Structure 1
Amino acid sequence: MKKVVSILLVLLMVTSLFGCASKTAAPAAETLTGKGDGFGGEVTVTVTKEGDKITKVEIDAPNETQGIGTKAVDELPAKIVEANSAEVDVVAGATYTSNGIIYAVKNALDPAANPYPAPKEEKPAAEKPAAEAPKGEAGSIVKFGLGQNISIAKSKDATADATAVGQADVTMAAVGFDADGKVASVYIDVAQTKVAFDKDMKVTSDKAAEVKSKKDLGADYGMVKASSIGKEWFEQIEAYENWMVGKTIEEIKSMKVVARDESHPAVPDVPELTSSVTISVDAYMEAVEEAWANAEEVAGAEKVGLGVETHIGSSKDKAADVLPLAQVDTYMSATALTADGKVAGTIIDNAQVKIKFDEKGVVTSDRAAEYQTKKEIKEGYGMVKASSIGKEWFEQMEAFEEWMVGKSIAEITGLTVKQRDDNHKAVPDVPELTSSVTITVEGYQAVVEEAAANAR
């Protein structure tokens, strides 16, 4: 009997040991903190990890703009947890807050590789200055302008071997001028937006995503791979911008250029730029010239910046009674700031580019046409017919621009708004604007905020 009991005890012990061996201890939770710089100032994150898995991200960003920067605070934690990485896309309309949060998470996960505060040489590539770029001198800013040009020439028809693509290239320049008409500040960017379709002419591009401009893409644009001088687009355009400072429009237009090939008809051919700029600059020159032609007087401006935001959400799939459409809506703003960061003046516009296709995927819009912005179209836009206050888009935008003068970015982004309907979710709800602005303004607030962040 004792022998039987002994055997049973041994079996129980062995079973118990196997049971323990089959259970893997759960990794202990680890809490890490990190910091980054958002639009409004320092942001702090707390990252919880269990082993190699990020399980929770908490963000403390008390100075970010309500309704804009706070979108990033609300949306990024879930994205980072889902991706198990800080390598996620920024939240549309909240680029600077997003980048600050993303950097803070990287700082938490690997502070040695991502120190805070980040040393100057660790800035994102798009913010690095082109080392060889010469820069002229100019006086104080007394005028500023917004110039642009729009092309759909690179749109592609559907063929037996390829699907259709609607492409809108919107080139923009925000420029400050001194009393002698010399360029005192210039910021150029391009929204190169592609709307792709499948063989059934259904949109395959992400309609909900904000399209990044060339400067926003930075090194991700990928020009350096094909560059004979080993420089990205953002580096080359910054060299060209720096060269313009201190020059008049006539001096800029008279710069000697050379045609490299059909796609590069106007490459700079002056000693100051031959080692730093191999891109064709004709479209950029035109945008700067238009900024001068449209320039407005401004008082107390210390710097000028450009803000850009692009969406393709209004593009349409082919349907029984609907022809396919690639629609690219690019919001833009040239904003001048005073020394204390208040708006000295702002110019806002919208390029609503519609690229039409037939049912077979052939582009029916005129590829060679000169497309206009809403401000250029003026009364031709036709909003007055549906306006409850009898005002066109350009009139309402001018009223909104005037309201911003003298206000801080926080005051502008903190404007009290109301939802009129699903298409008008942020209509101004303050006495100064209720009789003059009934359009939704969140996109315009966002580009003014970005312009302020880019101002120089």
Structure 2
Amino acid sequence: MKKIISLLLVLMLSIGLLAGCTPAAPEAPAETPAETPAETPAETPAEEPAAEGTIVKLGLGHVISIAKSTDKGTDANGNAVNAGAQADVTIASVGFDADGKVVSVYIDVAQTKVAFDENMVVTSDKTAEVKSKKDLGADYGMVKASGIGKEWFEQIAALEDWMVGKTVEEIKGMKMAEGKTAEEDLVSSVTISVGDYIAAVEQAWNESIEVAGGETVGLGIKTSIAKSKDAGIDANGNAVTAAAQVDTIISAAAFDAEGKVAGAIIDTAQVKIPFDAEGKVSVDKAGEFKTKNELKEEYGMIKASSIGKEWYEQARALADWMAGKSIDEIKGMELAEGKTAVEDLVSSVTVGVEDYLLVVEEAASTAK
């Protein structure tokens, strides 16, 4: 009996001990903290592409010809014919978008004639205003000979409209027949020869400059024959032959939405047409004629420049100064004897500037 009781006590004690020693549930492992991702650097915002139709490049192109100048002599009927000089300066001011397509184009021609009498004395009014073909409008008189009843300014407007939205390569690819357009949608509105206009637009593209925020483009032109000379005798008693000189001052300019200059190009076509003692043109009428910007150092202003800068460098500095300014601010430039007196320009521009201010103002008035 005692043994049974002892066994029961041992059994009960063992059960109690086992109950107290039940192992606890294994402790959940501590969470490994998630790796903190490296801070992503803020992205540098990409430069936004220019909005469709925004002008990002401005170009000025030209073609110069004196081919229509005539010698003194006699005509087919034996009648005396006086000499005459003619300079045709075809000009294109063009705004291009980021894809190189034409947004706006303005084409004009300064067709300037200088007449001489039988003694090779200039008979044209050397102080008179010289109008471009667009300035002349209906007075140019093409409609009389037009097979489609349209004036020059109307035909060039149709050509400009056709160019908008096209690249220079597309414009150069125009269907042609004997120098005139053969494009189906143009033949009823443009019958003039178009080669020089296309060439001027191509040069405008090739020599274009970058501008910011341009929306419209204009062209300004001012022509003078004041420096043309008669044949005669100089102060030393030497014979002097006659010469026509046609100075066509040009500005292409782009303007932003507020009418401020987004960019400008200033140039001058200084065309000299000399005659010999017999009244014949003494320069190659088919030769190349360069503007002052094209001549660069060949123009030779640096020899007489007190600041050691050529004409094209001074013209560029003046145009750069105009960027970001309104026409009123440009016209309000402080002047001294026709030259700039603006403190930050006097060290880079010493040429007379009044005519350049005028052509930029005209460019604003023609902008489209």
Aligned-residue offset at 1:359: 1.5
Paired AA for residue 367 in structure 2: A
Aligned-residue offset at 1:273: 0.5
Pair 1:297 & 2:210 matched:
yes
Report the 3-state secondary structure (helix = DSSP H, G, I; strand = E; otherwise coil) of the residue aligned with 1:377.
helix
Pair 1:375 & 2:287 matched:
no
Pair 1:270 & 2:189 matched:
no
TM-score by length of 2: 0.83
Match 1:316 to one of 206, 229, 243 = 229
Give the equivalent residue in structure 2 for 1:247.
166
CA–CA distance in structure 1, aligned partners of residues 173 and 363 of structure 2: 29
Report the 3-state secondary structure (helix = DSSP H, G, I; strand = E; otherwise coil) of the residue aligned with 1:212.
coil
Give the equivalent residue in structure 2 for 1:6.
none
Give the equivalent residue in structure 2 for 1:408.
326
Match 2:342 to one of 420, 430, 433 = 430
CA–CA distance in structure 2, aligned partners of residues 366 and 416 of structure 1: 43
Which is higher, the Rg of structure 1 or of structure 2? Answer: 2
Give the equivalent residue in structure 2 for 1:44.
none
CA–CA distance in structure 2, aligned partners of residues 373 and 210 of structure 1: 21
CA–CA distance in structure 2, aligned partners of residues 418 and 202 of structure 1: 35
Give the equivalent residue in structure 1 for 2:353.
441
Measured against aligned partners, the alpha-carbon deviations of 1:384-433 in whole angstroms (never above 9, x if no partner) come to 000111111011111101111111101111211111xxxxxx11011111
Report the 3-state secondary structure (helix = DSSP H, G, I; strand = E; otherwise coil) of the residue aligned with 1:298.
strand
Greater CA drift, 318-327 or 285-294? 318-327
Report the 3-state secondary structure (helix = DSSP H, G, I; strand = E; otherwise coil) of the residue aligned with 2:232.
coil
- Aligned CA-pair RMSD: 0.8
Aligned-residue offset at 1:139: 2.5
8 Å CA contact retained: 2:261, 2:322: yes
Give the equivalent residue in structure 2 for 1:208.
127
Which runs of 5 or more structure 2 residues have no equivalent in the other structure?
1-51, 75-79, 234-238
CA–CA distance in structure 2, aligned partners of residues 453 and 176 of structure 1: 16
Measured against aligned partners, the alpha-carbon deviations of 1:189-229 in whole angstroms (never above 9, x if no partner) come to 00000000000000000100121000000000000000000
Which runs of 5 or more structure 1 residues have no equivalent in the other structure?
1-137, 260-265, 420-425
CA–CA distance in structure 2, aligned partners of residues 363 and 243 of structure 1: 38
Paired AA for residue 447 in structure 1: V
Give the equivalent residue in structure 2 for 1:384.
302
Give the equivalent residue in structure 2 for 1:45.
none
Report the 3-state secondary structure (helix = DSSP H, G, I; strand = E; otherwise coil) of the residue aligned with 2:308.
coil
Report the 3-state secondary structure (helix = DSSP H, G, I; strand = E; otherwise coil) of the residue aligned with 1:300.
strand
CA–CA distance in structure 2, aligned partners of residues 416 and 401 of structure 1: 16
CA–CA distance in structure 1, aligned partners of residues 346 and 68 of structure 2: 42
The runs of 4+ residues in structure 1 deviating greater than 3 Å are none
Pair 1:230 & 2:149 matched:
yes
CA–CA distance in structure 2, aligned partners of residues 207 and 256 of structure 1: 42
Match 1:346 to one of 261, 264, 274 = 264
Paired AA for residue 218 in structure 2: G
CA–CA distance in structure 1, aligned partners of residues 147 and 255 of structure 2: 38
Pair 1:280 & 2:193 matched:
yes
Aligned-residue offset at 1:311: 0.4
Give the equivalent residue in structure 2 for 1:29.
none
Pair 1:144 & 2:144 matched:
no
CA–CA distance in structure 1, aligned partners of residues 200 and 271 of structure 2: 17
CA–CA distance in structure 2, aligned partners of residues 331 and 139 of structure 1: 29
Aligned-residue offset at 1:301: 0.6
Paired AA for residue 352 in structure 2: T
CA–CA distance in structure 2, aligned partners of residues 346 and 165 of structure 1: 34
CA–CA distance in structure 1, aligned partners of residues 183 and 59 of structure 2: 26
Paired AA for residue 268 in structure 1: T
8 Å CA contact retained: 2:53, 2:215: no
CA–CA distance in structure 2, aligned partners of residues 282 and 439 of structure 1: 35
Q: Percent identity?
A: 64
Higher RCO, 1 vs 2 (CA within 8 Å, ≥6 residues apart): 2
Give the equivalent residue in structure 2 for 1:62.
none
Paired AA for residue 140 in structure 1: T
Matched pairs, number? 307
Aligned-residue offset at 1:322: 1.8
